[in-house]
Structure formats: C-alpha cells, structure tokens
Amino acid sequence: MSKAIITCALNGVLTNPKQHNVPVTPAEMAQEARRAYDEGASVMHIHLRRQGPDQGHLASWDIDLSHAVQAAIREACPEVVINHTTGTVGPIYQAALDVVAATKPEMAACNAGSLNYLKLRSNGDWAWPPMMFDNPVEKVQAFIDVMKTAGTIPEFECFDTGIVRCVDMYQKNGMFEGTAQMNFVMGVASGMPAEPALLPILAGLAPEDSRWQVTAIGRAEIWDLHRRAAELGGHLRTGLEDTFYLSTGEKVTSNGQLIAEMARTARDAGREVASPAEARAILGL
C-alpha cells in the first residue's frame, strides 16, 4: 500500500494558549513543528495568532508574521511542506487572500462549503452562539484563484457529505484543474460524525482522481477513525488543533506525542510513513 503522509495541525484557531499548550510565537511554532517532524510529520498546518501580550488566543492575518512562522518552521524542519489556514467567517476575507498571495505556501486550506457551526452543552444550551461558517461558491472560487496564482495546492475542507459532492462539481464545472486534495473533517458536532463506516462512502463521493485525508475532532474515540483511514489508503492528520488525547485517553502536552501515535497507527495498518521528500512527490510539488 502507498506511503502515508502525516499532517500535523500545530495550533488551530479556537484553542486558548492560557488553557492549552498550543504554540503562538514563531519560535514556539518551530519547536512544536520539530517535535512533530521528528515523529514522522511531513506537512505542517499552521494558524497565525496575534503576538501582543494576552492576545495569543486571537487570529492574525499579518503577512510579516506568516513569513516569520514559515521561515522558522522551514529552518527547524528541512523540506517540510507548509499548509496555511485560510478560514474566515463573514463576507470580508481579503486579508486571508493576501496572506496566500504574498507568502505562497505549498498548500492552503480551501473551505469548500458552508456549515451551521453548532454545539450543545449537556443541559441543552448552546456551547457558543450559533454561527454560520459561510463559504459560498464565489468565496471558494476566490481562494482557488489566488492559490492558482501563488502555485499553492488547495486542500478542500469538507465538513459534510454534500460538501464532498460539491468539490466534484467544482472540478467538473472547471473551477479548478488537477487532482483534488480532499480533507474529510469529521467530529464537528453539526457536521459529519467521527464514524469509520462513513469513510468508504466519502471516498466514493470524492472526485475519482482525488487524494484524501481525515481530520478527526474529538477525544480518544477518534483513533478508530484514524485506523480505518490508514487501512483504506487515506492520508493522516492530527495535532493540537484537532485533539488533546491519545487513544489511551491520556492528555498530551505536545504535538509530537500525537504524531508518534499516528505513525504507529499507519504502520499497524501496513503503511510506511512518507518523508517530506516523498510527501512532495505524492503531492506533485
């Protein structure tokens, strides 16, 4: 079976560094990337955080900061692939487009459809005010276009089955050309559940020539999903954006612990872990 690319989602946008051990500064990002790299990660998915005092929980689209984070990671991790976030809520997203255009990462997230982003507390109250993660077709096209100009591979983030089907339509409509890089995001409360039995269905709905991976949101229960993805030939992703827990239920303090378990998961499924150079070849970089 083909080698498995492992992506490390280093920090995310929702995790508060005062509550969880997520990296914020370029030096912290590089240190965590190295820990993940040493355990087998060849792709680093990055979010930017504001750098001022008590601002590390807030997102940033500062171009200079993006350059600094990417440079620090590349120095720490030779040949590693950078995958940049672009996720924004609302009709104003030029800053995210500008970061991709200016820094030209090898890959970037391209959120492929809209989702009511909801979660309930045990008493039935909303965990946060209901919100729409809005990604209409014109917004998707804007990101596809800037990525094409920058030489960046779009990674289509799919939170539900209908969004997977949309990517197939985007390709057939001519919105993008080439192999679709699919990311099945599973475990968001109002999106697809982290259910291993869904994976063959999702892979069947994706464009015929696509590559796919799974982002699994949750606790110890998500590792069954990762194992199934490895068995089916999918690529793999984990990191402090997605979970803080190993399959044993142990809470981690570093991305490296999560990537070490993911590498074991790949090998248990008969897969070797792709090096950065091998990942670049698989991705066509």
pLDDT number for residue 55: 86
183: helix, strand or coil: strand
**If DSSP states are collapsed to H, E and C, what string results for 107-166?**
EEEEECCCEEECCECCCCCECCCCEEECCCHHHHHHHHHHHHHHCCEEEEEECCHHHHHH
263: helix, strand or coil: helix
247/260 Cα distance (integer angstroms): 12
Contact in structure between 200 and 184 (CB atoms under 8 Å):
no
Written as tens digits, the pLDDT of the chain (285 aa) is 799 999 999 999 878 888 888 999 999 999 999 999 999 999 999 999 999 888 888 899 999 999 999 999 999 999 999 999 999 999 999 999 999 999 999 999 999 999 999 999 999 999 999 999 999 999 999 999 999 999 999 999 999 999 999 999 999 999 999 999 999 999 999 999 999 999 999 999 999 999 999 999 999 999 999 999 999 999 999 999 999 999 999 999 999 999 999 999 999 999 999 999 999 999 999
Which listed CATH number (3.40.50.1000, 3.20.20.70, 3.90.79.10, 1.10.760.10) goes with 6-283?
3.20.20.70
98/96 Cα distance (integer angstroms): 5
Q: At what angle do helices 63-76 and 26-39 cross, to 10 degrees?
A: 40
pLDDT number for residue 18: 85
Closest CA to 81 of 279, 281, 253: 279
* pTM of the predicted structure, to 2 decimals: 0.96
Return the number of other C-beta atoms located less than 10 Å from residue 63's C-beta: 16
